[in-house]
Amino acid sequence: MIDAYSPVAARAWDGFDQLDAVPADALLGLIGLYRSDDRPDKIDLGVGVFRNDDGATPVMRAVKSAEAHLLQDQSTKSYLGADGDSRFAELLAEVALGSDIARSPRLCGVQTPGGTGALRLGAELLQRAAPDATVWIGEPTWPNHGPIFLSAGLKVAGHRFYDVAAATIDFAAMMEDLEAAMPGDILLLHGCCHNPTGATLAPGQWATIAGFCEEKGIIPLIDLAYQGLGDGLDEDAAATRAMFAALPAALLAYSCDKNFGLYRDRVGALWVQSPRAGTAPLVRGNMFALARSLWSMPPDHGAALVRIILDSRDLRADWEAELSAMRLRINGLRETVAARQPSLAFIGRQRGMFAMLPMAPGEVAEMRARHGIYMAPNGRINIAGLTRENIPHFLASLGQVAP
Ligand code: PMP
């Protein structure tokens, strides 16, 4: 064993000492703090997972059934290949993009480890195709977006998107900032259920963005991580489909981790639409080569479950029914909060799991210390962490901390 006193350690390579210290992820740190808090009325609004009325994040019924099928029927765990479960990507393409776009020869898709893997693969592909491109990202956004594109060697620029104090999208400011984008730049867009704000672009605003992308030669990369948790499966995909229909080139990074409740199984896909069908095989080849060097093959279990569910009429209907119930729960909580607290009326108009409260970090810390209410440091709350029972405690605490 090499310990601090051994002569080997004394002359050891010191490369690791040159690393910059990285602060721990603030949101993940909250998990430990919440667990060790013994106040019975504590509320976890931090971590971004769906919760039911009992505060649990259960395995969905259709997923449990599909797991039983898999246990029964799977005869090998031999390698699948860099594209993973191709039937999964084929079936999911129709759910996400609708059958016309899904069947286009200009489209190619590949299974990825979660939405994060899809974003990273998309970033690597764009880095190969357009190494000088800048990725434009609205502020605020999911904190992992910037690091993913920077790690792939792309440049990142922020544009104004959401005015936290006014609780609305500042669309004029967004389009003003995007004037600085250059042809060939990438525009990252949340397809629905914006994380962390819950703010939704209106169809007319999406049309303006599509027109802008077409005119300026900007390529949209849409991040769709919450399909079905806003207004419905088709409704939540409408903007993505409209962008794919309107523009020659587009990318879609998709996550099944929320709408199938498969978080830790890491299920996602990346689709890339090329301007010409002839280019699609080139894109496909590069996607596979990149996937091979990133993770070789994506994890199979979760994608196999999604494939089994989407391939079975009964399981699919049950999945859709449970997803609808999850959506109704979130939207019901949104309505309740908005009706009880007029200053939070915006929460009733927004969609998805998240909302952002205009609170200073000190106020967020006070919510935790004085009232046992855990929120992300930027004021983001997970609506699904609320219940009919804990809403009064949440609103009363908020009234004391940030009246
Ligand atoms: N995009 C957004 C907007 C997200 O909120 C998340 C997850 N929090 C992801 C992508 C990544 O999803 P996954 O867990 O499937 O990697």
Tens of pLDDT, residue by residue over 288-325, are 999 999 999 999 999 999 999 999 999 999 999 999 99
Q: What is the CA radius of gyration of the chain?
A: 22
Task: Give pLDDT, residue 1.
Answer: 54
Q: What is the pLDDT of residues 175-230, one digit of tens each?
A: 999 999 999 999 999 999 999 999 999 999 999 999 999 999 999 999 999 999 99
Using the structure block, give the residue that is written with the tokens 């357009």: 130
Task: Give pLDDT, residue 3.
Answer: 61
Question: What does the pLDDT average to over 148-170?
Answer: 97
CATH class of 77-313: alpha beta
Same fold, 24-59+316-401 and 77-313: no
Rounded-to-integer distance, Cα 386 and Cα 337, Å: 9
- Cis peptide bond prior to 196, omega within 30° of 0: yes
| Token couple for 31 | 């998990």
* Lowest pLDDT segment from 3-12, 98-107, 262-271: 3-12
Which of these, 380, 85, 115, lies nearest to 226 by C-alpha position? Answer: 115
pTM: 0.96
319 is catalytic: no
Residue 5 pLDDT class (50, 70, 90 cuts): low
The one catalytic residue among 181, 210, 225, 253: 225
Residue with CA nearest ligand 1 atom 9: 115
Task: Give pLDDT, residue 350.
Answer: 98
206 is catalytic: no
Average pLDDT, the chain: 95
Half-sphere exposure of 25 (CA within 13 A, CB side): 10
Ligand 1: list residues with CB < 6 Å: 48, 114-116, 142, 190, 195, 223, 225, 255, 257, 268
Whether the per-residue pLDDT at 57 is higher than 90: the answer is: yes
Pick the CATH number of 24-59+316-401 from 3.40.50.1370, 1.10.10.10, 3.90.1150.10, 2.40.50.140: 3.90.1150.10
Residue with CA nearest ligand 1 atom 12: 115
Rounded-to-integer distance, Cα 296 and Cα 83, Å: 9
Rounded-to-integer distance, Cα 332 and Cα 329, Å: 5
Whether the per-residue pLDDT at 44 is higher than 90: the answer is: yes
Distance from Cα 115 to the centre of ligand 1, integer Å: 5
Half-sphere exposure of 326 (CA within 13 A, CB side): 31
Which residue type occupies 165? A
As to burial, measured by CB atoms within 10 angstroms (0-12 exposed, 13-18 middle, 19+ buried), residue 366 is middle
Rounded-to-integer distance, Cα 81 and Cα 4, Å: 44
Decide: helix, strand or coil at residue 160.
strand
Rounded-to-integer distance, Cα 134 and Cα 144, Å: 17
Q: Using the 8-state DSSP alphabet, how is residue 20 labeled? A: P
Whether the per-residue pLDDT at 10 is higher than 70: the answer is: no
Distance from Cα 13 to the centre of ligand 1, integer Å: 37
What residue spans define the domains of the chain?
24-59+316-401, 77-313
Distance from Cα 4 to the centre of ligand 1, integer Å: 41
Phi, psi of 295 (to 5 degrees): -140, 10
Distance from Cα 116 to the centre of ligand 1, integer Å: 6
Question: What does the pLDDT average to over 90-112?
Answer: 97
258 is catalytic: yes
